[in-house]
């Protein structure tokens, strides 16, 4: 099987997209077979791109017959290096961590929060779900047995760089950054994905403006 780390970033992203879609499909009742054409139509991707992406994973299914959704989901899971409950760390205030449970119920998406950290000293000891919140400065002492490599960061902007540096010192090699900061210093060896909400809102606002000269022409 090819090494997923050698696949193009765009391919890896689309494979994760297929993985998420199949997970949702399986939860609501997937058909017996699914084709690359179906995936392409549902996700707005060219069919030949879907087929090429799946070819990175290996020889799955039969030409023209499609794939068994559960088998394809399992193969994507292995190729992406995931587990059925991929362990992650979440960083934010206790209130933010509770809110994230509502908007991102991790168990629905194949991830399992195993440790929570807050920048607020008063949050230490608070229980969010079944997990006790610890202060952010305790990140370097994270238990290696938890086998965590990815963190979700939603702390206040002033703590973002500190959180990234502490995560790196604790052996965490990836971070999904929800806090809207524009510039960060990425620790050596760490992969960081940023959701730049202010920039996304501004570009969306620009696209939604009515072009000059079109008002009243309909």
Q: List the one residue out of 192, 166, 170, 168 whose CA is nearest residue 181.
A: 192
Task: Say if residue 10's pLDDT is above 80.
Answer: yes
Give the fold, CATH level 3, of 86-201: Rossmann fold (3.40.50)
Task: Say if residue 80's pLDDT is above 60.
Answer: yes
* Domain coordinates in residue numbering, the chain: 4-79, 86-201
Task: Say if residue 94's pLDDT is above 80.
Answer: yes
Strands 131-135 and 127-128, by their bridges, are antiparallel
In terms of Cβ atoms closer than 10 Å to its own Cβ (0-12, 13-18, 19+), residue 104 is middle
The tens digit of pLDDT for each residue in 24-47 reads 888 888 788 888 998 999 999 999
Residue 193's SS3 state is strand
Task: Say if residue 218's pLDDT is above 70.
Answer: no
DSSP track, 131-145: EEEEEGGGGGG--GG
Task: Say if residue 119's pLDDT is above 60.
Answer: yes
Cβ contact 89:97 at 8 Å: no
- pLDDT-derived band at 78 (thresholds 50, 70, 90) equals confident
- Structure confidence at residue 4 (pLDDT): 47
Task: Say if residue 3's pLDDT is above 80.
Answer: no
What is the rounded distance in angstroms from the CA atom of residue 179 to the CA atom of residue 182?
9
Nearest 5°: the CA angle 183, 189, 192 is 40
Q: Which of 73-82, 116-125, 141-150 has the highest mean pLDDT?
A: 116-125
As a whole number, the mean pLDDT across the chain is: 85
What is the rounded distance in angstroms from the CA atom of residue 172 to the CA atom of residue 114?
13
Give the fold, CATH level 3, of 4-79: Arc Repressor Mutant, subunit A (1.10.10)
The tens digit of pLDDT for each residue in 147-178 reads 898 999 999 989 999 999 999 999 999 999 98
Q: What is the pTM of this model?
A: 0.71
């Amino acid at each position: 099987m090819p090494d997923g780390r050698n696949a193009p970033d765009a391919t890896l992203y689309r494979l994760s997209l297929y993985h998420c879609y199949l997970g949702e499909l399986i939860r609501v009742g997937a058909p017996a077979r699914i084709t690359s054409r179906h995936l392409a139509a549902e996700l707005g991707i060219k069919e030949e791109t879907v087929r090429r992406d799946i070819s990175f994973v290996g020889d799955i299914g039969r030409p023209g017959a499609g794939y068994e959704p559960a088998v394809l989901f399992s193969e994507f899971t292995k190729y992406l290096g995931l587990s059925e409950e991929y362990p992650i760390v979440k960083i934010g205030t206790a209130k933010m961590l509770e809110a994230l449970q509502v908007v991102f119920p991790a168990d629905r998406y194949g991830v399992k929060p195993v440790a929570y950290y807050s920048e607020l000293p008063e949050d230490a000891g608070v229980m969010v779900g079944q997990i006790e919140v610890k202060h952010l400065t305790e990140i370097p002492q994270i238990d290696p047995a938890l086998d965590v490599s990815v963190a979700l960061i939603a702390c206040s902007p002033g703590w973002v760089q500190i959180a990234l540096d502490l995560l790196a010192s604790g052996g965490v090699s990836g971070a999904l950054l929800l806090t809207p900061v524009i510039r960060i210093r990425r620790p050596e060896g760490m992969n960081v994905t940023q959701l730049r909400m202010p920039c996304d809102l501004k570009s969306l606002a620009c696209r939604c403006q009515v072009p000059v000269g079109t008002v009243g022409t309909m």
